[in-house]
Structures are given as C-alpha cells and as structure tokens.
Amino acid sequence: MNAVRRLLAPLALLALLAAAVLHRPWLHARLEPLGGPAVSNGFDMAVAAAAWLAFAWAGSRALDLLATGNGRANGRPGGRPPPIPRLLSDLLRALLYVAALVAILAFVLEQPVTGLLATSGVMIAVLGFALRNMIADIFSGIALNIEHPYRIGDWIELAPGVSGRVDEINWRATRLITADGAALIVPNGIVAGSRFVNFSRPEPRFRAAIPILLDHDVPAARAKRVLLSALLCADGVLATPRPDVVIDSFSPNGVGYQARFWLDDYERLSAVRDAVATVILEHLGRAGIELARPKQELRTHRPAKPVPGALRRSLLRQLDLFAAFDEAEVAELGQAMRRHHIPAGGVAVRQGEAGESLFVIAEGVFDVTLDQGRHAVHLDRLRPGDLFGEMSLLTGQPRSASVVACTDAVVFELDKGHLDPVLRRRPELARQLAELMANRQLHNDAERDRLGRDGAGQSLAASQDLLARLRGFFKL
C-alpha cells in the first residue's frame, strides 16, 4: 500500500500531461486568441519538458521502492537484502534526471547536444582524475552493496585489533562502532580491497581461542584435562559445540596449547575471554601447574621439589568441612586419601548405592544428576576443589545422586576408616561436622525443590539428627 501511494503523485502528473497532449487542439483554440502562436508553442514545450521530468520522477520513485525493498529498511539485521542496493539506486536516479535534461535540450528545445556531451566528457575526465580516490570509494561502496559481505549490525574485523559493529554504509565510507564506543570511519575502497572477517555471518556463533604455554614436564593428557575442565566451567562459553584443547606448537620454552571455545555474540568476546582466562588460572593453580617461563631466565636457586601429599592437604584445607581440623590432622587425612582416575563419561558414584567415603575433585569437571524414573535431572556442576559423597562418609547413608565425569578427571577418596581415628581422638569435631553438614544439606534441598524454608529451626533440628547419626555410625 505504501508503494502505491509513493507512485500516485508522479503517475497522476503523467496522466495530467497525457490528457493535455490528447486535448492539444482544444487547448490551442483557447490559447491562441489570448496570446497568439507564441503562447501556444510555449505551452507545447512546457508540456513536453514536464513530461520528461515526470517520467524521471516516476522512475526515481520506482528505484527508491526497489532500493528499500518495498518499505523494508536497507540492511536491517535478519531482513532480506533489497533488489537494488541503495548506493546504486542513488546513482541511477541521478542518471535518470541527467538523461531527462539532455532529452529536453535535444527534443524540446532542439539544441545540439553533441558539443555539450563532448565538453562534458572532457570535464568528467578531469574531475575523475582529480577525484579518483573518492570515485573508487563510491564504486567500491556500490560493489559492497551488491555483494552484501556485511550489513548494518554485523561485527567485522578489518585487521588484527581493528574491529567494530557496522553502523552505516554510505557513498564513500563504512562507519564502524568499536567495542569501546568510538566511531571508526573506513573508506569503502580500503574495505573492498582488503581481507576482512565477518563474525556475524553466516551465523553469529563463532569460535575463539586463548593460547597457553606450559612446561614440557607437564604431561599433555593432564594439561588438556585441566584446561578443558576450566573451559566447561567458564561463564559465556557455549556447551554446544563443545570446547576443546589442542596442542598448537612446540618451543624450547614449553608446549603451546590452544583453549578453543564457542560464543554467540562478538560484543561479549572480551568478557568471555576474561572469564575463560580467570578460570584457567584458577584451575592451573589448584592443580599445582605453573605457566612456562623463558628458558633463558637465570635462576639463582634450584626449584624446591614438590612435597608428597601437598596437593591433597591443600585440597582438604580449603574445604569448610575440615576447617576445625588442625594441620597434623589434615596432613594425616591427606596422606591416607586414595587417588582415582575417572575417564570422561565415567560414574564416580551412582544414586542409591551404599557408600562410606567422600571424594575431593583435583582435576576435571563432574555433573550431579538425580534419577527421577524416566529421565535424569541435572542438579549441579562440580569443579576442582569441590567435594561430593560427604553424607555417606559421615552417616553411611546411600548415595543421594549420581556424579558423572564430563571430562577425564582425578579425584581423591577419603573413607570412614581414615576419619575414624581422628574423631575418636577428638570427639568434639563430630558436633562441628554435624552443624556444617546440616547447613549444607538444607542448601542442597532448597536448590532441588526451590521452596522457602525456616533455616534456623530446621538447621538446629537437622544438626541434632545428623550428630546422632554420625555418633552412631562411628560408634562414638
């Protein structure tokens, strides 16, 4: 409907001029007595000139409708490209009006236009040489609008570190808005003549990577396990396609890894890269792995050899469950813990099975699932430093959920036989363990059923109940 309205005015004018041509004898009969043949001939020339201009006007409106896609905004994200690019339609409109003026001179005013065209050709050549860079930008803009390698709203990278969101494509240049909010004006000739990357096409999802250099003495399988677990725990990283870790290079300084991940919006790239890098450093620190150092670095002392059981003691010390234990007790428990390697997809504990131990995650990522008959419900994702199975260790109750490894993982197991001597020496630890576990159980229950609870009363009741069960299980 809007398209028809825009064509009404030029079509109405053409119809009026056509009616004037059809009724020329009648109009001449009325005009000649008033002004003579001069007025009559002037009327014919005016009608002819107006007809040429009206034709150019109608053609211009038709091109405008094609350029805007019958009312759709050019370059709107997700919209279809218009049949004729906007820049090309502007050029064609200008050519239509120039042709109409030449036709008026040649056919209405009966003036020779050969000399005018020759003179115009010379002037155009001179201007073209003087404005060759601008003209190249204009025709590059037309080519870009025809091919549509990018559109308004797309994120493109012209060179490493030079990227932005396309805000406008005009006759001469493309305007980008960088991630810092600054406007970047790039001539179309530079864009068309260089290689650039469009992160929004064919779909907004794309892959990014962070390089990490580790020492040669870190086994590749362990390095990949730790880095992959970090990627799975980072905010903003898409679960599908799955992130991965590959070896990228070797050098005297170490082994280069690429931690590759997918995200769905280039505007969030900096934030997601920051989250990934932060989690990678956290997981490497928990695993006791340092980034590689330049081998030309001169060390004044030999690095200390790792103390046996240091990783196990540090894992236990950072857990609230063992906050009341002294250093000797933590060292005793850490020395007694058993190391287990669980492959990706392996089940560490299964819902409903009997158990008398807990597990502390050293490397890898686990999913906690609850079997509800026909399907399993995902409850939580555990990462290095987390523990599971503590209720079975303290009370002997069956496993309340299944814990499945998302990646190759390493865990340390602490069972009842390891904790029993410590509790017999210090029975007061039982009460503190019961209080901590009561609060933890209330939190887990609230997460599962999303129901409000009266925390204080229930925590006290649960603490007393757990304490009684703990004393009975350990025969204190």
pLDDT tens figures, 203-249: 889 999 999 999 999 999 999 999 999 999 999 999 999 999 999 99
More confident residue, 278 or 7: 278
User: Which pLDDT score is estimated for 74?
Assistant: 43
Residue (of 318, 329, 341) closest to 412 by Cα position: 341
> What distance in Å separates the CA atoms of residue 65 and residue 255, rounded to the nearest whole number?
59
Strand partners, 247: 257
More confident residue, 65 or 395: 395
**Residue 463: pLDDT above 70?**
no
Neighbours of 292 (CB within 10 A): 19
User: Which pLDDT score is estimated for 109?
Assistant: 73
- What are the chain's domains? 2-130 (no CATH), 149-198 (2.30.30.60), 206-286 (3.30.70.100), 310-474 (2.60.120.10)
Beta strands in 67-134 (DSSP E): none
Residue written as token pair 């430093």:
385
Residue (of 148, 153, 179, 149) closest to 168 by Cα position: 153
Average pLDDT of the residues in 275-303: 81
Mean of per-residue pLDDT scores for the chain: 80
> What distance in Å separates the CA atoms of residue 378 and residue 399, rounded to the nearest whole number?
16
> What distance in Å separates the CA atoms of residue 218 and residue 227, rounded to the nearest whole number?
12
Cis peptide bond N-terminal to 241, omega within 30: yes
Three-state DSSP class for residue 172: coil
443 and 462 Cβ atoms separated by less than 8 Å: no
User: Which pLDDT score is estimated for 98?
Assistant: 80
User: Under 8 Å CB-to-CB from 450, ≥6 apart: which residues?
Assistant: none
Neighbours of 330 (CB within 10 A): 20
Find the distance separating the first CA and the last CA of the chain, reported in whole Å: 87
Helix (H) or strand (E) holding 442: helix 428-449
DSSP state of 349: E
Strand partners, 244: 260
Calculate ∠ Cα 259-262-266, nearest 5°: 115
127 and 171 Cβ atoms separated by less than 8 Å: no
The confidence band for 458, taking pLDDT boundaries of 50, 70 and 90, is: very low
> What distance in Å separates the CA atoms of residue 274 and residue 237, rounded to the nearest whole number?
11
The winner for highest mean pLDDT among 81-90, 100-109, 169-178, 348-357 is 348-357
Torsion sign over Cα 269, 271, 277, 282: negative
The percent of residues in the chain predicted with pLDDT above 70, rounded, is 75
**Residue 273: pLDDT above 70?**
yes
Note the pLDDT tens digit of each residue in 406-427.
999 999 999 988 888 888 888 8
Residue written as token pair 């040669």:
216
**CA distances in angstroms from 216 to 222, 253, 291, listed in the order given:** 12, 8, 11
> What distance in Å separates the CA atoms of residue 476 and residue 473, rounded to the nearest whole number?
8
Torsion sign over Cα 192, 194, 196, 201: positive
**Residue 141: pLDDT above 80?**
no
Residue written as token pair 């029993």:
420
Residue environment code for 348-371, b if the CB has 16+ CB neighbours within 10 A, otherwise e: bbebeeebbbbbbbbbbbbbbbee
- Predicted TM-score (pTM) of the model is 0.64
Cis peptide bond N-terminal to 83, omega within 30: no
Name the phi and psi angles at 14, rounded to 5: -60, -40
Name the phi and psi angles at 168, rounded to 5: -160, 140
The winner for highest mean pLDDT among 111-120, 196-205, 307-316 is 196-205
232 and 283 Cβ atoms separated by less than 8 Å: no
Would you say how long the chain is, in residues?
476
Name the phi and psi angles at 349, rounded to 5: -135, 150
User: Which pLDDT score is estimated for 122?
Assistant: 57
Neighbours of 398 (CB within 10 A): 13
419 and 472 Cβ atoms separated by less than 8 Å: no
Q: How many CA atoms lie within 13 A of 356 on its CB side?
A: 9
**Residue 269: pLDDT above 70?**
yes
199 and 176 Cβ atoms separated by less than 8 Å: no
Find the range with the poorest average confidence among 20-24, 94-98, 225-229: 20-24
Retrieve residue 33's tokens: 């007595």
The confidence band for 460, taking pLDDT boundaries of 50, 70 and 90, is: very low
User: Which pLDDT score is estimated for 236?
Assistant: 93
Backbone conformation region of residue 78, classed left if phi is above 0, alpha if psi is from -120 to 50, else beta = left
**Residue 373: pLDDT above 50?**
yes
Average pLDDT of the residues in 431-442: 75
User: Which pLDDT score is estimated for 363?
Assistant: 92
The confidence band for 451, taking pLDDT boundaries of 50, 70 and 90, is: very low
DSSP state of 399: P
- Which residue type does 43 have? F
Residue (of 158, 254, 258) closest to 208 by Cα position: 258
